[in-house]
Structure 1
């Protein structure tokens, strides 16, 4: 770390420390300055008070990711502040923290709904679909009719004959999904969280077991970015798809499918009312 970066880290730590209310953490006594004392932050972070003092003074060197995590917790940092702390301390953002998600904010749902005739979904790193718009329910799957635990793309693809039959090239689609799923698991550090799902799919689907053990890793941009379906109502359809990150939630991804045919757009508009 450069001396300027070390000093910037110290300034940030001090600013976050002085905004905290000592009484809310059970610390008492008269104080000449606002916020927690340095030794109190060190106590909460389980690090040496001397070293924490050096960090604020720009003399502590580069802390480890483990220490930065403890300081983030001790100082009650927001996700944005935690990311900033890691960039100051290590020159990179922290690893993604996976969170189980039940749904999305009303604001994000309004974004999905605003796509109109373009099916759009939000998925987790475990490929659970947690939000969708009306066009997605009509063209892809009516997720609202399913229990939350069954709204998983991998379970659909490898365990649902109707979903399999709708794929123009099931083998290619399945191989792409498994490769990108493996990459998402590694990127978000959730191998333990998905081990049960992987074991279940390997037991129930020889195809999944075969593809999973091939160890292919793919990015979302590695495919042709066109989804082809043999839809039971609309017939053969082609849609371009794009993946977008969700602000502040690196464990979520929004996929938007854009119909390539004006007649299909009209029919989706009629079906969605």
Structure 2
């Protein structure tokens, strides 16, 4: 690879693979900027104009030619081997999710580029969700489209459930709804993690017009989403403790646990279990109020009370 001449480098893509290679280049640049020289045994120096490693340093540490690595970041039509990708992944200190994402973007044949289109869950899912009340539970696609939910989830996030069924997308709601409709306490932390999961899933679906259109529309609607998306961070779904605001400004501590749906591996059932007795009590009260008045009245009553939030929605 070190013998390749940059003057004869393959040109950029002009066909359907251009987007994938452009994503690969951007992902490599972002990950390279994240690794400090000291982390890989190099001196910091005083003449660095950009954060992280230089291209030539990544190439040297990975045992590949500088020109060849540069072409990868430029989106040139070259086909890296698994061995080369492994070396780059080690140099850039990628975790397992990031490494899988790198393989997909590089078009490694052993990693599927496309996933089946998401379909609604099989009959019976709603009955399972309903049986979980008073635990909030919802069925969500890899793109965060909400397919189904139970009463406890509606009490937890009434603003989302008031949207028309086709518009019920968790990320769209979190990035575009007004602050009083935002349920998350640690908004920045949780939403950035969700965007990283979306980016990892997007690696499978870059040829899917529905996915590319969704990302484009949300980027246009929310500069904050566009900024997070441009970080090229990737993450895998994980159980985690999340804090939610009630409509009255009370804080709930809930552990979110996801279960893959057998009909579509990209769809998960998320179940939220209380972390303490106060959360369990407040959830029960919210469900009772939802049943007696509905989600719109629940929100209106919360707005009239003024709530007690001390943090914004990010």
Distance 1:119 1:250, change over 3 A: same
- 1:24-173 to 2 correspondences below 5 Å: 97-101=115-119, 103-141=120-158, 143-162=160-179, 165-173=182-190
Distance 1:174 1:190, change over 3 A: farther
Partner of 2:100: none
Aligned partner of residue 158 in structure 2, secondary structure: coil
Q: Using the alignment, how far apart are the partners of 2:231 and 2:208 within structure 1?
A: 17
Paired residues of 2:174 and 2:182 also in contact (CA < 8 A): no
Deviation at 1:138, TM superposition (A): 0.2
Paired residues of 1:164 and 1:170 also in contact (CA < 8 A): no
Number of aligned residues = 179
Partner of 1:228: 243
Q: 1:264 aligns with which of 279, 284, 287?
A: 279
Q: 2:259 aligns with which of 244, 264, 272?
A: 244
Aligned partner of residue 203 in structure 2, secondary structure: helix
Deviation at 1:163, TM superposition (A): 6.3
> What TM-score does the superposition give when structure 1 sets the normalisation length?
0.59
* Residues 1:218 and 2:230 aligned together: no
Runs (5+) with no aligned partner, structure 1: 1-91
Paired residues of 1:167 and 1:229 also in contact (CA < 8 A): yes
Deviation at 1:105, TM superposition (A): 3.2
Distance 1:164 1:172, change over 3 A: farther
Q: Using the alignment, how far apart are the partners of 1:179 and 1:194 within structure 2?
A: 15
Q: Using the alignment, how far apart are the partners of 1:209 and 1:260 within structure 2?
A: 33
Deviation at 1:98, TM superposition (A): 2.8
Paired residues of 2:156 and 2:183 also in contact (CA < 8 A): no
Aligned partner of residue 237 in structure 1, secondary structure: strand
Distance 1:236 1:96, change over 3 A: same
Larger Rg: 1
Q: Using the alignment, how far apart are the partners of 1:161 and 1:107 within structure 2?
A: 34
> What TM-score does the superposition give when structure 2 sets the normalisation length?
0.51
Deviation at 1:210, TM superposition (A): 0.6
Q: Using the alignment, how far apart are the partners of 2:234 and 2:227 within structure 1?
A: 14
Partner of 1:200: 217
Runs (5+) with no aligned partner, structure 2: 1-109, 289-314
Deviation at 1:149, TM superposition (A): 2.2
CA RMSD, Structure 1 to Structure 2 (Å): 2.5
Partner of 1:174: 191
